[in-house]
Amino acid sequence: MTLANTQYAEAIAKVGGYYNFVTMINRRMKELNNGQPPMVAPPANEKNWDKIDLIVKEIEAGYLTLKV
């Protein structure tokens, strides 16, 4: 399976590769678990929304960047 076929392909390309994508996901997951609110609203029609999908929405919206 290539990265072009994954559901997160656009977000991976936007951050500059898989390593950067995983780094951002891990850092943001830690922030969310420590009580920081999400930068985008969780889906209103879903009770059990996924944090990773929420973080990907933040990346796609341009709210998260990785300092190099």
Has residue 67 been placed in a domain? no
Mean of the pLDDT values across residues 5-24?
Answer: 88
CA distance 10 to 26: 18
Domain encompassing residue 57:
3-61
Q: Is residue 54 part of a domain?
A: yes
pLDDT at 47: 76
Residue 16 domain-assigned?
Answer: yes
What is the pLDDT at residue 43?
80
Domain count, the chain: 1
- Judge if pTM exceeds 0.85: no
Give buried/exposed letters for 55-66 (b at 16+ CB in 10 A, else e): bbbbbeeeebee
Query: Does some domain include residue 33?
Result: yes
Q: What pLDDT score was predicted for residue 55? A: 92
Domain assignment present for residue 34? The answer is: yes
Is there a domain that residue 36 lies in?
A: yes
| pLDDT single digits (tens) 40-55 | 988 888 777 788 989 9
- From the list 68, 67, 66, the residue with the least C-alpha distance to 24 is 66
